[in-house]
Structure 1
Amino acid sequence: MAMLSVGASSLAQTVPDEGSAPSSALDLPKNMTIFGKGDPNVRKATAIVNGSIITGTDIDQRLALIITANGGKVADEEKERLRVQVLRNLIDETLQIQEAAANSIKVDPAEVEQSYERVAANFRKSPKDFEAYLRQQGSSSASIKRQIEGELAWNRLLRRNVQPFVNVGEDEVKSVVDRLNAAKGTDEFRIGEIYLSATPENAAQISANARNIIDQIRKGGSFAAYARQFSEASTAAVGGDLGWVRPAQLPDELATAATEMEVGQIAGPISVPGGVSLLYVMDKRKVLTADPRDALLSLKQLSIAFPKGTTKEQATDRAASFASQTKAIQGCGAANDVGAKLGADVVDNDNVKIRDLPGPLQEMLLGLQIGQSTPPFGSVEDGVRVLVLCGRDDAAAAGAPSSEQIQAQMEEERVNKRARIYLRDLRRDAVIDYN
């Protein structure tokens, strides 16, 4: 749904918001007495933003989307913290919609509907069924459509008022190309990031919020869903996906963390200029080097089901027998005959990319020669199966991105920086009444 989405080799956010002065610039007294018990991080349930009302229902429905993304498993204490963050997000969203309207930018309802239909399709539901599903979860189609409208309006505003004034020189692009070629064979990472802006005054609270987000993700929450709701980078619209980046493209703090992480790990909060980041390593490969996991395989799958009531011990014995008989398979030409003798179902699978398979299977298949089979795998419920490798088409080495792609990525990074400053200024000028 994002108009300014990040490309496959996007540059990560590396520049702090301009104007975020250090605490010394505020000339704060060394010994302070706090008069009163007000907590600026505790907000009431609703707000009026420059005359636009955010209701408790708005917050509840947006919160329900987050809870749904976490399988409904969110503690009551966490829900209250999330409500505060959701309200902040809705305020930002309202400011973005208002600013777009002030600049005579209108979003056609048909565009919103088209994006909504794509979201529904991602859930494998028709728009009507998806609407009913959202109601069951305590949310609504109106909540998602408002978020879509905000994204479309804000990105259109950036394209009009910011993007035309961002320039990247040819020398800058050439420098990136030279560094990329020099980095051939080194590691690059598919990174997800959740960026939360912070000031010296609220840094502790923001870090606590970040740790809570990590806890929820580690308990099974969706990184992409949390990034979409909470990240303040433009990549929020694509689930925080920065694309493929090299450590040199990341801030030093993020680069250090990425190189120490394994695929599937999440780390943070990591202090970066202007705030904190949560980092998720989705994948890893070598720069400009063919990745064996991009090879396309031709496979035969032999599978047998266990009768209802089979115990784990019985399944283990049957799997051992299945393994000994399938181990003798000599090439795919014999797989059908062996399958028939075992009473196994035999299915051909072509153009299977190793990368798309579960991790343990990837490792097994990478080590197989043509005609060999994997050890049996499965479960009591799903039965047991083996894969026979019939053929492999290795991937060609990845080419360097074009100068045009690199230029577009650098321009987008600069647009993102200015967008953060733009939103910061809108917050400062807003009249917000909490009810």
Structure 2
Amino acid sequence: MTKFSTLLCGIAGAAALAALPTAASAQDGRSARVLQLPENITLFGDTLPPVVKATAIVNGEIITQTDIDQRVALTLVGSPPPSAEEYRLLQQQVLRNLIDETLQIQAAAQEEIDIPAADIARALERVVQNAQMETVDQLEAFLEENGSSLRSITRQIRAELAWQRLQQVKIADFISVGEEEIQAIIDKMESARGTTEYRVGEIFLASTPANEAQVRQTALQILDALRQGGSFAAYARQFSEASTAAVGGDLGWVRPEQLPEALGSALRNMAPGAVSVPIKIPGGYSILALQDQRQILMADPRNAVLSLKQVTVPIPEGSTTQAANALVDRFAAAAAEVQGCGGAERLAADFGGTVLSADGTLVRDLPPALQPMMMEMQIGQATRPFGDLNEAVRALVLCGRDEQQVSMPSRDQIEQQKREERITLRARRYLRDLRRDAIIDYR
């Protein structure tokens, strides 16, 4: 049973319990006969909407239980089924997110910021493409099948667009970066040449002394979901209270010293692909995901662009393990003696194989086991064989390599990055002020 069928079964189960006959319903049946209603009737008009419960009223605007349930279902797409406690915590977080979205949309409206339907439509089209679907109708059907709705995802898109444009009006237009500051950054980068920086994702959960234990528990629940295969970007968009939530928590390339000390220390001990435990920092907890690392202003050999030929040799059907190993040994010896890229076709012909050309391949896009080997190879050499003894073995012949050229970022790029950092910080404070000044009635 999937997470979606589990939720739907829960709804169906509640309906079934409500339908069980009781003494009261038997009495109601006798009353119905007094009305002399026919057995078979035809209904006219629209179906009555489900009962909608107001869960919170934010400055007069209602957030219903339906809103929460549909957003929870949207969040759970592609995630393992949650436990009852995880589901409860997710509902609470979703309610907080919906309150923030409502405040953001209201604040934008006060500044007479309108989000055209065309902008929302374009954003929906991007969602459709990212989900590898063909039409918005297909996305809508998928969401409804999984307990959510197009309205739920449209509300989230509207809030994100409104918040971005509100930041532009209230914050970005008043941010400036001086020439002296830019020069200081350039000097600092030059002095840091060769040191390591990291591509980092962050999920930040704000906490106070009163709710710290609860927030930490929520962070641990998120970590558990991530370890079970949940999407870090998806959880960041839904849970993170940093302004980077809109971009999946992506902090970009940072150095440890740019982060709070606890985060910087953790980052230095992480390997690419790792996700940290919840880390206590001033104001809350952060979960980091290390996506990649590189040396500042130094060429990364994994960014070299390769021209390759792949030689594929099939393993004859019915071959014993001994026979397959013998074939691989002969192929390995021949590949080690291949005479340049032009020898790939001859190598394939000698073993009844095929050749596939692949230009424009980044080293970093190759399987991790092949990357160190490829970085040390010379033009015309072949890798050791790899593959499956039950199907086929392969070798890559290196035909060309274009090394990455690294230069200092332009002054405009540095200015833009510094502006974005300041916008992020002020946006977080702005949302905090909106929460503080809001009238929120929980029901």
Asked if the contact 2:306–2:361 (Cα under 8 Å) also holds between the matched residues in 1, the reply is yes
Deviation at 1:307, TM superposition (A): 6.7
Q: Which residue of 112, 120, 124 maps to 2:132?
A: 124
1:267 aligns with 2:267: no
Alignment check: 8 A CA contact 1:69 1:225 kept: no
TM-score (norm 1): 0.83
Q: What's the CA shift for 1:67? A: 1.7
Three-state SS of the structure 1 residue aligned to 2:357 is strand
Relative distance call for 1:315 and 1:47 in structure 2 (3 A) is farther
| C-alpha distance in 2 between matches for 1:133 and 1:381 | 38
Q: Relative to structure 2, which stretch is displaced further, 286-295 or 328-337?
A: 328-337
> What residue identity is the alignment partner of 2:261?
D
Q: What is the alpha-carbon distance in structure 1 between the residues aligned to residue 146 and residue 319 of structure 2?
A: 37
Q: Which amino acid aligns with 1:111?
A: D
Gaps of 5+ in 2: 1-52
Counterpart selection for 1:420 from 416, 423, 428: 428
**Contact persistence 1:227–1:240 (CA under 8 A):** yes
Change (3 A) 1:318 1:94: farther
1:146 to 1:331, Cα distance in 2 relative to 1, 3 A: same
Q: Give 1:239-250 correspondences, 5 Å limit.
A: 239-250=248-259
Residue 63 in structure 1 maps to residue 46 in structure 2: no
Equivalent residue letter for 1:250: L
Deviations 1:34-56 (A, max 9, x none): xxxxxxxxxx9932222222222
Cα distance in 1 between the residues matched to 2:83 and 2:323:
40
Query: Which segment drifts farther, 323-332 or 200-209?
Result: 323-332
Aligned to 1:22: none
2:15 aligns with: none
- 2:121 aligns with 113
Indicate conservation of the 8 Å contact 1:311/1:380, yes or no: no
- List gaps (5 residues or longer) in structure 1: 1-43
Q: Is the 8 A contact 2:310 2:395 kept in 1?
A: yes
* Equivalent-residue separation in structure 2 for 1:61 and 1:100 (angstroms): 24
Moved more, 206-215 or 282-291: 206-215
Please show how residues 325-340 of structure 1 align to structure 2 within 5 Å: 325-340=334-349
Q: Deviations over 1:149-193 (max 9, x none)?
A: 101001111111122232333222222111111100111111111
User: 1:131, 1:310 → 2: CA distance?
Assistant: 50
Which structure's relative contact order is higher, taking Cα pairs within 8 Å and 6+ residues apart?
1
The 2-side partners of 1:60 and 1:384 are apart by 50
Q: Specify the code of the residue in structure 2 equivalent to 1:79.
A: Y
Give 1:323's match in structure 2, choosing from 312, 317, 332.
332
Shift of 1:219: 1.4
1:102 maps to which residue?
A: 110
1:123 Cα deviation after fit? 2.1
Percent identical: 52
Instruction: Note the C-alpha offset of 1:325.
Output: 4.1
1:221 Cα offset (Å): 0.9
Contact 1:207/1:269 (<8 A) preserved:
yes
Q: 1:72-111, aligned counterparts within 5 Å?
A: 72-111=80-119
Q: 3-state SS of the aligned residue for 1:351?
A: strand
| Residue 431 (1) aligns with residue 408 (2) | no
What's the counterpart of residue 418 of structure 2? 410
Instruction: Give me the whole-angstrom Cα distance separating, in 1, the residues matched to 2:107 and 2:184.
Output: 37
Give the letter for the 2:241 counterpart.
Answer: E
CA contact (8 A) 1:217 1:223 kept: yes
| 8 A contact 2:244–2:424 mirrored in 1 | no
Alignment correspondent of 1:13? none
Question: How far 1:428 moved relative to its partner?
Answer: 1.9
Report the number of matched residues.
390
Please, what is the CA RMSD of the aligned residues?
2.3
In structure 2, what is the equivalent of residue 153 of structure 1? 162
Q: TM-score, normalised by structure 2?
A: 0.82
Residues 363-382 of structure 1: per-residue CA shift (max 9 Å, x gap): 22112222222222234676
Which of 172, 178, 201 aligns to 1:169? It is: 178
Decide whether the 8 Å contact of 2:311 with 2:347 is kept in 1. Answer: no
- 1:5-24 matches, within 5 Å, as none
